[in-house]
Structure 1
Amino acid sequence: MVYYQKMTPTGYQKIEEEIARLKKDRPRRIKILQEARSLGDLSENTEYTEAKRDLGHLQSRLRYLEKQLKYAEVIEKNDDGKVDLGKTVTLRFDDDEETEKYQIVGRMEADIAEGKISFDSPLGQAINKKEAGAVVNVAAPAGEYQVTILAVE
């Protein structure tokens, strides 16, 4: 069974851009490794060890990102009025009356500081497929809380 990673078109594009940036940087890192190798004894050559490690990290990151794209399921948002991947929701946290706005994104794109929550987070799962006006209980690791969906865009 193949597991597809759901993401927004923007998330897919960001991964493509990072892959392009890393591929562009790879020749420079290879040159640094070659120059470090020419410095002599490899057993005590810190520059060589660091350059080899850095190139290995770059190659590993490239493989990881390429696999993310290979198994990506890009979800286009629709206008059905329900919370779903790619949409922006305005929520009121009923315990403190605080209002927050979040974009619902794939797991790889989630960044709470940027107002992006994953569709499969406890909050994302609780509000998924609900409409504006719904009051939802969220079962989170720190305890349950309640939110009201004020708007779905």
Structure 2
Amino acid sequence: MEKVPMTKNGHVQLTEELERRVAIERPRIIEAISEARAHGDLSENAEYHAAKEMQSHNEGRIKELETLLALADIIDVTKLSGDTVKFGATVRIVDEDTDQEKTYTIVGDPEADASAGRISISSPIARAMIGKEVGDSIEVTAPGGARGYEILEINYV
């Protein structure tokens, strides 16, 4: 199996989610199944089927989290530095067409959340930025067409 790169913060968040799903969600769902079972005929019991589906989803996510955490290659971003973009970098870029600035932190796939400014190392924009320096221009091919960006700032925090 291949190691999954992630930041210390991402590892903590996934660990907390796993603990919450095991300690809180699992018992709550088991209770909901027991309660629905008490209502009688299971073949036409919507509450029972909904609770079983929730259980299936929760158990699947628990297994996924356990696998991700077992394969985690935790990278301490505070120990990184340099003038080029690499995993863990927080990069401020500007759209060359609209002059709109954006700031992204390059993280591992499991912790990516573009709406929170965390993009996956495997995303097109992160791949275009890797190895670049402040002042470099990058071109990203997106579903809406190619976009040009300039790197304004690189930080490792």
Q: Give the TM-score, by structure 1 length.
A: 0.89
Number of aligned residue pairs: 152
**What does residue 86 of structure 2 align with?**
84
Q: Deviations over 1:51-82 (max 9, x none)?
A: 22211211111111111112222222211222
Read off the aligned partner of 2:103 and give its amino acid letter.
Answer: K
Instruction: Report the CA distance between 1:152 and its aligned residue.
Output: 0.4
**What does residue 44 of structure 2 align with?**
44
Residue 117 of structure 1 is aligned with which of 116, 119, 130? 119
Gaps of 5+ in 1: none
Gaps of 5+ in 2: none
Which consecutive segments of 4 or more residues in structure 1 shift more than 3 A? none
Q: What's the secondary structure of 1:44's corresponding residue?
A: coil
**What does residue 148 of structure 1 align with?**
150
Read off the aligned partner of 2:109 and give its amino acid letter.
Answer: R
User: What value does the CA root-mean-square deviation take over the aligned residues?
Assistant: 1.6
**What does residue 61 of structure 1 align with?**
61
Is 2:16 the partner of 1:14? no
Distance 2:146 2:114 in 1: 19
Distance 1:70 1:140 in 2: 33
Read off the aligned partner of 2:100 and give its amino acid letter.
Answer: E
Q: What's the secondary structure of 1:103's corresponding residue?
A: strand
Q: What's the secondary structure of 1:86's corresponding residue?
A: coil
Percent identity of equivalent pairs: 38
Instruction: Report the CA distance between 1:88 and its aligned residue.
Output: 0.8
**What does residue 93 of structure 1 align with?**
95
Is 2:140 the partner of 1:138? yes
Distance 1:49 1:98 in 2: 48
